[in-house]
């Protein structure tokens, strides 16, 4: 993607900043963020950053492409305040897309979630039946329905991307998220500093961990191909939390045992296992993940292993 005028909402957040920084090399990129889950320190100087909320009027939507990544992105946030969760995730989405439509933008790519598949050890295809168990999942499924509305009623290109457990590590743009960062970032930082990583339950839960750079490529490709519909972005491989701790210990040259605690999230809504079937995305665009898990963990651990002292990025 070159020479485009692009808006990234949630652009100072983890995924949004990686996307904005990547695209800014060859495009005119505007990033907006209300800084609830983002920080402008994540962004390159050539990104036009603006502290704005997706609920505001007169947003800078006179662009060629909108990447809508702004969201309240955790179970806890929505259960504490379902109304605010719905406003940000649903009303904010409709507000941004409708302003973009009125400004003549025809291409929108937005973040959905793999959580709506529930717990599955088999790869989840996009056409399988889904069930909503949490406010977070409800808000993302509502986005998908509104995306379908804009595509069908206004003939826009609107693509929803269901992300699978996106990670990068505190050496990237995750550090500011703290307890909301992917578990890989948290586990790696704990182990590197001689602390026991805390695992819910017995650590047998599995995730399809997908490196953020593969997610960024998927988002860009979706816009380039002017996709419409719902697509998965994941690797098709899943690893247990116990295995992640073992691999991080090996990479860091440590031997730290995890601490197991009772899961604070009810079993009835906790997603124990995820795995992506990304075949529809591959068939539509040729996209495939390029960073395998071993390589990804090496990248996460590089900030600790490339220096003489494994000091914490949080200190």
Using alpha carbons, list the distances in angstroms from residue 76 to 11, 39, 82, 244, 282: 22, 21, 10, 24, 33
**Rounded to an integer, what distance in angstroms lies between the CA atom of residue 104 and that of residue 266?**
44
CA angle 34, 313, 308 (to 5 degrees): 155
Are 67 and 223 in contact, with CB atoms under 8 Å apart? yes
Query: Which one from 146, 167, 177, 304 is the annotated catalytic residue?
Result: 177
Asked if residues 109 and 219 have their Cβ atoms less than 8 Å apart, the reply is yes
Q: What spatial distance separates the first Cα and last Cα of the chain, rounded to whole Å?
A: 38
Give the whole-angstrom CA distance, residue 112 versus residue 145: 11
β-strands 229-233, 157-163: how paired? parallel
CA–CA gap between residue 271 and residue 79 (Å, rounded): 15
Secondary structure element (H or E) that encloses residue 143, with its range: helix 135-154
For 258, which DSSP code? Answer: P
Q: Is 140 a catalytic residue?
A: no
For tokens 């997603």, what's the residue? 271
Please give the DSSP secondary-structure letter assigned to residue 114: G
The answer to whether residue 4 is catalytic is no
Q: Which one of the listed residues 136, 146, 231, 239 is annotated catalytic?
A: 136
Q: Under DSSP, is residue 247 helix (H, G, I), strand (E, B) or coil?
A: helix
Closest CA to 244 of 296, 284, 291: 296
> Could you give the residue numbers annotated as active site?
136, 177
């Amino acid at each position: 993607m070159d020479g485009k005028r692009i808006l990234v909402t949630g652009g100072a957040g983890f995924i949004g900043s990686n996307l904005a920084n990547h695209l800014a090399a060859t495009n005119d990129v505007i990033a907006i963020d209300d800084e609830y889950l983002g920080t402008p320190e994540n962004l390159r100087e050539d990104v036009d950053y603006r502290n704005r909320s997706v609920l505001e009027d007169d947003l800078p939507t006179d662009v060629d492409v909108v990447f809508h990544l702004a969201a309240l992105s955790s179970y806890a946030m929505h259960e504490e305040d379902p109304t605010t969760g719905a406003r940000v995730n649903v009303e904010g989405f409709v507000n941004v897309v409708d302003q973009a439509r009125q400004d003549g933008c025809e291409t929108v790519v937005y973040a959905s979630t793999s959580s709506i598949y529930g717990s599955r050890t088999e790869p989840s295809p996009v056409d399988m039946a889904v069930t909503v168990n949490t406010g977070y999942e409800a808000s993302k499924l509502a986005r998908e329905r509104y995306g379908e509305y804009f595509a069908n009623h206004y003939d826009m290109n609107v693509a929803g991307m269901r992300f699978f457990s996106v990670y990068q590590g505190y050496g990237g743009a995750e550090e500011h998220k703290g307890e909301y960062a992917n578990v890989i970032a948290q586990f790696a930082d704990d182990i590197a500093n001689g602390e026991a990583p805390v695992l819910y339950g017995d650590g047998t839960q599995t995730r399809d961990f997908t490196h953020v750079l593969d997610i960024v490529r998927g988002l860009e490709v979706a816009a380039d191909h002017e996709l419409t519909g719902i697509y998965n972005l994941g690797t098709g491989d899943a690893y247990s939390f116990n295995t992640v701790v073992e691999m991080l210990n090996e990479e860091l040259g440590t031997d730290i045992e995890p601490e197991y605690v009772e899961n604070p999230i009810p079993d009835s809504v906790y997603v124990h296992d995820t795995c992506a079937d990304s075949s529809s995305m591959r068939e539509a665009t040729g996209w495939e993940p390029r960073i395998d898990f071993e390589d990804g963990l090496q990248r996460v651990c590089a900030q600790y292993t490339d220096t003489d002292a494994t000091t914490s990025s949080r200190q």
